[in-house]
A = this chain, B = another copy of it.
Amino acid sequence: MTAVRAEAQGRSAEAKRALFARLAARFGMRFSVSQALREQHANTLTWLKREPPDAVLFAETEAEVSEIVTLCAEARLPVIPFGTGTSLEGHVNAPFGGLSLDLSRMNRILAVHEADLDCVVESGVTRKALNDHLRGSGLFFPVDPGADASLGGMAATRASGTNAVRYGTMRDAVLGLSAVLADGSVIATGGRARKSSAGYDLTRLLIGSEGTLGVITSLTLKLYGIPETILSAVCPFASIEGACNATIAALQMGLPLARIELADEVQIRACNAYSHLSLPEVPTLFLEFHGTPSSAREQVEAFAEIARAEGGGEYRWAERPEDRSKLWQARHDAYWAARGLKPGAEVLSTDVCVPISALAACVGATRQDIDRLGLLAPIVGHVGDGNFHVMPLIDPANQEERRKVQAFLDRLVERALACGGTCTGEHGVGQGKINYLVAEHGAGVQVMAAIKKALDPLNILNPGKIFALP
């Protein structure tokens, strides 16, 4: 069901005007149709077309979210949940117009249960704000997608990042949540028990639903004790294969890697230039180990042996925070270093994820494709999960280059799917990967659509994302 059909079902310019008058009266300055604010709430971090909403509203409570969704549903106006706007696949765009529902003011940390290693937060709390709050408790929240995203947004897109290999993704991090559904009703899923087999897993259904099934308003999250010792390491390899084989060997022997990141030679060259480093310009692994002093030490040494056997070069590791930062600087600066390769270019950050045995071949073929097309595109990977990012740098004015990149993206996903992988490991579908979803899941997409239709028959919640409903 498209907005066109929604309009046919009753949405009209008149209904919208009346709704906006009502929202303005009810929410005052928290409701706005200002051009600047609407632009800010459109998509910013991708090469997808920016599609601003008709208005923006800052909600402060779950009850308000329920009220707003109910009113919008009555007027058949789409509601687009908004956290920090750091999505990469157009999730906050408003292709059919609608209200951007900004949740950033729902930023209360409602409880921290230290004995249970969990906390309850409103969905607008960002991951850094949560970790700042936890400082001193000895606990931390591990999921780290890079951006200081809202936890609600991270749940909605099933985000992960560099330490998913050890601590899992948002799928694993969330014990329960509350959400407002398309009819304005509020549900609480999961709970505070560590596990449950009580009925359908609505928690996991909402995680990764990208705002199309409900507006997440609060989350119960798993926390972890801060490890006594953290060691960082860096190791160059003669080839992507060597780096991948070392990773596989480490996982097979059960080494509890906290992070294992791959940067290819193009990324390392960019980092050398941007951060004034002199790393060997070859595929390089960046590692982190968590444990007791002796177990972390044992891990860092075990990996040294594995790396040697797989053709690794000079292996450096460190414990002091400032030394660790230095070792990882190239990885930390990767995004900005990539931008620096071609000033003025747009950066398209895309991701796929494959079985780790296929990673070296998949990255290699991708690199060949990039070179053949004459594109500039560093590759970095969360190699412990088989997840990698390609960042083509595009001249915005060059239409030919944009077409090339589109064809490149199509082949990238084809390659990932051909070896049993997925079109996105952590960025989500949004608008950018709708077509790939059908290639990946086939008839499963109809099942997803049936669920969407059952829970949001008017297609009010974030329409035009995940699938193009008929």
Interface residues of A (CB under 8 A from B): 113-118, 138-139, 157-160, 164, 168-169, 171-172, 181, 185-189, 191-202, 204-205, 207-209, 213, 224-225, 227-228, 248, 251-254, 256, 290-292, 294-295, 298, 302, 353-357, 384-387, 416, 419-429, 433, 436-437, 440-445, 447-448, 450-451, 453-455, 466-467
Contacts and interface: CB of A to CB of B under 8 A. Distances in A.
The residue in A207, A228, A254 that gathers the most chain B C-beta atoms within 10 A of its C-beta is A254
Nearest to A416: B193
A195 B443 contact: no
The residue in A192, A209, A228, A442 that gathers the most chain B C-beta atoms within 10 A of its C-beta is A192
Contacts of A228: 253-254
A298 B295 CA distance: 8
Given A139-B252, A200-B447, 11 more contacts: A115-B356, A171-B204, A189-B444, A194-B387, A196-B422, A198-B437, A200-B208, A200-B451, A201-B204, A225-B253, A292-B295
Contact of A187 (B188, B225, B416, B444): B444
Contacts of A442: 187-188
Q: Which 4 A-B pairs have the closest CB atoms?
A: A204-B204, A192-B420, A454-B454, A196-B422
Contacts of A118: 355
B193 A201 contact: no
What is the count of identical protomers in the complex? 2
A159 B197 CA distance: 7
Contacts of A168: 172
B424 A198 contact: yes
Nearest to A137: B252
A364 to B, nearest CB: 16
A225 B199 contact: no
A207 B201 contact: yes
A450 B353 CA distance: 32
A44 B310 CA distance: 54
The residue in A195, A209, A386 that gathers the most chain B C-beta atoms within 10 A of its C-beta is A195
Contacts of A159: 197
A251 B222 CA distance: 12
Contact of A441 (B160, B198, B440, B443): B198
Contacts of A169: 195, 197
